[in-house]
């Protein structure tokens, strides 16, 4: 029998990030610091990573499937065989809108109105950005793109690597059949500080929970539209982060999903 680890860092972290009455004063200090610091709150009030000079390509408005909520929720299924066919820009638009699209206005961290999204986020801080890696997506060349929910647009952050995006993804993903049959992968990148400024050590919990909320939206919408999907935890973190151009410390991939359709 394998020896039982008594010092699992995950358990230590979980215990250390519990809200406890005895530690309330300490833990509230973080919240107070956030509330008292206008610059922190202002920085958190537009949680969209956007490059000021890069062009963004607008996505088509999402065409929401007519399926009932009951049927869509019940149709969701993971599969590592993603069909090998291409997705359309309409498919991508739907997946992104259902994962992280803007749905209205909420009160932001600075007390000013900010964009609310389909997925909830602790404190309205939205620490996650969605990076799109399209291998077979009609109307979109291979490359690394970042989703801008407020503009429902994609900003290209890098071209395709010299080896080709499909080959690069095959090196990042454990399951080769999944990698080969996916039309695209969407990686969720957390900028931890966006949540940490308010929640301190507990922020990491929020970030991971929020990743689940975001991915579930895409999976259910995909099921409703006949798109094959799978949540993706089996990736080589550093390889994928290198491909995306994120530093892997202040910002890291925390979750992903892959999608595809049957070949026409």
Which is nearer to ligand FMN, 113 or 233 (by Cβ)? 233
Strand partners, 106: 114
Q: At its nearest, how many Å lie between ligand FMN and the CB of residue 257?
A: 9
Q: At its nearest, how many Å lie between ligand FMN and the CB of residue 189?
A: 16
Rama region for 263: left / alpha / beta (φ>0; ψ in -120 to 50; rest): beta
Asked if 184 and 136 count as a contact pair (C-beta separation under 8 A), the reply is yes
| Residue whose token pair is 């833990």 | 27
Q: At its nearest, how many Å lie between ligand FMN and the CB of residue 219?
A: 8
Contact footprint for ligand FMN (CB under 6 A): 77-78, 80, 175, 178, 230-234
Asked if 237 and 252 count as a contact pair (C-beta separation under 8 A), the reply is yes
Q: At its nearest, how many Å lie between ligand FMN and the CB of residue 222?
A: 12
Which is nearer to ligand FMN, 139 or 212 (by Cβ)? 212
Alpha-carbon distances of 43 from 34, 71, 204, rounded to whole Å: 11, 40, 19
Which is nearer to ligand FMN, 120 or 139 (by Cβ)? 120
Q: 24: burial class by Cβ within 10 Å (0-12, 13-18, 19+)?
A: exposed
Which is nearer to ligand FMN, 59 or 227 (by Cβ)? 227
């Amino acid at each position: 029998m394998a020896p039982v680890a008594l010092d699992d860092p995950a358990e230590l972290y979980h215990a250390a990030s519990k809200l406890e009455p005895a530690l309330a004063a300490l833990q509230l200090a973080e919240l107070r610091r956030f509330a008292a610091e206008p610059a922190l709150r202002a920085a958190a009030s537009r949680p969209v990573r956007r490059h000021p000079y890069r062009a963004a390509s607008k996505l088509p408005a999402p065409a929401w499937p007519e399926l009932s909520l009951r049927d869509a929720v019940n149709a969701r299924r993971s599969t590592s065989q993603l069909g090998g066919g291409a997705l359309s820009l309409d498919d991508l638009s739907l997946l992104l809108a259902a994962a992280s699209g803007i749905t209205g206005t909420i009160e932001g961290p600075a007390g000013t109105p900010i964009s609310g999204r389909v997925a909830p986020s602790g404190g309205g801080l939205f620490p996650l950005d969605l990076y799109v890696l399209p291998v077979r997506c009609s109307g979109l060349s291979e490359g690394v793109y970042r989703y801008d929910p407020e503009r429902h647009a994609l900003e290209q952050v890098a071209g395709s690597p010299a080896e080709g995006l499909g080959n690069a993804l095959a090196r990042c993903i454990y399951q080769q059949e999944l990698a080969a049959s996916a039309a695209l992968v969407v990686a969720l990148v957390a900028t931890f500080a966006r949540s940490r400024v308010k929640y301190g050590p507990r922020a990491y919990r929020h970030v991971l929970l929020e990743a689940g909320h975001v991915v579930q939206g895409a999976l259910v919408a995909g099921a409703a539209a006949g798109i094959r999907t799978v949540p993706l935890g089996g990736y080589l973190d550093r390889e994928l982060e290198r491909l995306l151009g994120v530093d892997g410390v202040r910002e890291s991939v925390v979750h992903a999903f892959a999608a595809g359709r049957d070949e026409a």
